[in-house]
């Protein structure tokens, strides 16, 4: 949640900061703001709404400064107002702070600060931070020391950027929320995610928990300190291999359609994953007494699919648990257990807490994660990098397919036949490419126009297709705001069939995996009650009112089948004139609990 960008160097930092905020708008778009130190003072600008249409040269031509911080907000504490927008300031307006995360003890801290005479201008938890720093400065600490001591008073999560009217430095720090340091030529950047500054440098340091970066303009230097011990650290500089083009729209109207079109390439990259890495991960799975897959949202559905594949192809019983619920099972986890976590960002707060919970119990953690250097990657005992590349749209599409594909490769490795996994994914890749051909989209667009105004949409599937029913409906509800709900076909008669009424669309996922007769029977049951049955199947059937074909790929059919629901969701959003990249109330990376 929320995006942070910072710059310190010799040029007008407002330019890269505004540019970075636009690239991070997927993290938060309720409001935004920027602060810059210029000629010994801090200027700032805040406004409610999205930053995408803002042009610095036209809308704020005089705004400049060599030391800048910016923030795009997803509201947690306080409404969407200019006053609640970041940056926030100390009483004397000399300290400006941007913040991502949640300060859990902010009410207590605010009460104490108010008793000392501090006046607050917002409803946010963030505003206590500049006031705390101001209080520490009164005790004759320098700015880095004051920031460090203020951070030690905070409970909860934070990534912060701090500038001061009286100092030519920029400070960034993190605990529980991501923050990356970009190292340029005589200039430095801060960002919640690499795309914020990838245009300017691909040399980065991923700040770890309780680390603080002190960036010095005069000396063109940086120091990384431990917030708790005040010891200087020497972390490695990583080189990011993503190109800027991979994080741009590439001529497409939205990131969502661009990222869907990249899915064949994503599978191609997964096919080429290192065999040695797969074998190491497979060894962890083989040696585990019990295995749990832990994730949230779309990644959870990918994990459910993985659990079915492990059961059907590897005779493994794997339990899937929502990451937010996993800590309640901590007392049952043992040192012989393996937790497989799945995450696109690697910064999801509930997933990271699940990892901590697993480690407290002595269990090992294997992660499937898309972002190099992410918190999850570094916290895990082993990780496999999924091959989606940067995913900017709030809705996950190509990351989901990459996670499914990685589970296929893991399953094939466990079975001792990696080549078979590659052949399976080649079929899925070719099928997705066929689905995405422009000539096949007209039928999907027509369906989207016809169902864009319905109040409810349902989906059914059995076995490996059940996660598809859940994920397909999640995509539709996320981007179109239509109530959409997925069910296991066998559960229909246990309550959900009461929801079926004439004309309601029902997506039926059908694969040649042995469950086709049963799910077609379920489709007939809803058809008999007036439903409009939309078949996503390896073959046509008379029960379908509309038919969308997929390759007969057995239990691996869902990898290509899900693309239809991604496209349906996208075109419904366009029909309703909604922004598919930035659906309301959602953020790309859920870094708060």
Catalytic residues, which ones?
Answer: 2, 588
Q: Is 501 exposed, middle or buried (0-12, 13-18, 19+ CB in 10 A)?
A: exposed
- Those residues with Cβ within 8 angstroms of residue 493's Cβ, 6 or more apart along the chain or in another chain: 525
The answer to whether 131 and 151 have CB atoms below 8 angstroms apart is no
The answer to whether 570 and 256 have CB atoms below 8 angstroms apart is yes
The answer to whether 263 and 432 have CB atoms below 8 angstroms apart is yes
Cis preceding-peptide flag for 586 (omega within 30 of 0):
no
The answer to whether 182 and 189 have CB atoms below 8 angstroms apart is yes
Give the integer Cα–Cα distance in Å for 464 and 480.
Answer: 25
Around 53, how many Cα atoms within 13 Å sit in the side-chain half-sphere?
A: 5
Relative orientation angle of helices 441-451 and 558-575, to the nearest 10 degrees: 50
Report which DSSP code applies to 249: -
Relative orientation angle of helices 263-271 and 398-414, to the nearest 10 degrees: 20
Give the integer Cα–Cα distance in Å for 548 and 448.
Answer: 13
Closest CA to 574 of 249, 254, 259, 258: 254
Helices and strands counted in the chain (H then E): 17, 25
Residue with tokens 């590439």: 250
The answer to whether 363 and 369 have CB atoms below 8 angstroms apart is no
Token digits of residue 140: 């004759």
Give the integer Cα–Cα distance in Å for 421 and 271.
Answer: 8
């Amino acid at each position: 949640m929320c995006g942070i960008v910072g710059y310190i160097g010799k040029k007008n930092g407002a330019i890269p900061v505004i540019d970075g905020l636009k690239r991070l708008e997927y993290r938060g778009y309720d409001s935004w703001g920027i602060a810059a130190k210029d000629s010994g003072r801090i200027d700032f600008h805040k406004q409610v709404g999205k930053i995408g249409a803002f042009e610095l040269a036209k809308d704020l031509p005089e705004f400049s400064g060599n030391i800048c911080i910016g923030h795009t907000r997803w509201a947690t504490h306080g409404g969407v107002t200019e006053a609640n927008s970041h940056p926030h300031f100390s009483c004397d307006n000399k300290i400006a702070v941007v913040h991502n995360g949640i300060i859990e003890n902010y009410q207590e801290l605010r009460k104490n600060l108010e008793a000392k005479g501090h006046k607050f201008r917002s409803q946010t938890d963030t505003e206590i931070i500049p006031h705390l720093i101001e209080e520490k400065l009164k005790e004759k600490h320098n700015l880095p020391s004051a920031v460090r001591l203020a951070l030690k008073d905070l409970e909860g999560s934070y990534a912060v950027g701090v500038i001061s009217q009286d100092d030519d430095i920029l400070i960034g720090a993190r605990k529980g929320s991501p923050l990356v340091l970009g190292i340029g030529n005589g200039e430095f950047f801060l960002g919640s995610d690499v795309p914020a500054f990838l245009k300017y440098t691909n040399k980065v340091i991923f700040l770890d928990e309780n680390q603080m970066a002190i960036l010095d303009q005069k000396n063109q230097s940086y120091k990384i300190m431990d917030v708790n011990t005040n010891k200087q650290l020497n972390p490695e500089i990583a080189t990011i291999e993503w190109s800027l083009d991979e994080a741009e729209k590439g001529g497409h109207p939205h990131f969502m359609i661009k990222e869907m079109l990249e899915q064949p390439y994503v599978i191609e990259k997964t096919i080429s994953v290192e065999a040695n890495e797969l074998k190491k991960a497979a060894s962890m799975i083989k040696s585990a007494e019990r295995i749990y897959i832990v994730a949230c949202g779309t990644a959870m559905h990918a994990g459910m699919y993985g659990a079915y594949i492990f059961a059907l192809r590897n005779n493994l019983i794997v339990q899937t648990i929502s990451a937010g619920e996993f800590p309640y099972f901590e007392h049952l986890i043992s040192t012989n257990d393996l937790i497989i976590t799945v995450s696109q960002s690697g910064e999801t707060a509930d997933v990271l807490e699940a990892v901590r919970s697993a480690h407290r119990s002595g269990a090992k953690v294997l992660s499937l994660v898309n972002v190099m250097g992410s918190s999850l990657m570094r916290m895990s005992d082993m990780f496999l990098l999924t091959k989606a590349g940067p995913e900017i749209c709030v809705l996950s599409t190509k990351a989901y397919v990459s996670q499914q594909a990685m589970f296929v490769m893991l399953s094939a490795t466990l079975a001792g036949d990696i080549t078979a996994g590659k052949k399976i994914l080649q079929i899925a890749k070719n099928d997705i490419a066929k689905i995405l051909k422009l000539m096949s989209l007209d039928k999907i667009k027509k369906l989207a126009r016809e169902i864009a105004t319905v109040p409810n949409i349902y989906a059914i599937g059995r076995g490996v297709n059940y996660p598809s029913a859940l994920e397909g409906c999640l995509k539709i509800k996320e981007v179109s705001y239509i109530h959409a709900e997925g069910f296991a076909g066998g559960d229909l008669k246990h309550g959900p069939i009461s929801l079926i009424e004439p004309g309601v669309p029902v997506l039926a996922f059908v694969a040649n995996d042995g469950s086709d007769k049963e799910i077609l029977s379920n489709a007939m049951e809803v058809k008999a009650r007036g439903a409009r049955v939309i078949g996503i199947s390896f073959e046509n059937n008379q029960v379908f009112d509309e038919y969308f074909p997929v390759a007969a790929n057995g239990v691996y059919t869902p990898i290509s089948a899900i693309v239809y629901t991604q496209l349906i969701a996208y075109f419904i959003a366009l029909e309703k004139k909604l922004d598919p990249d930035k659906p309301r109330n959602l953020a790309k990376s859920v870094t708060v609990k």
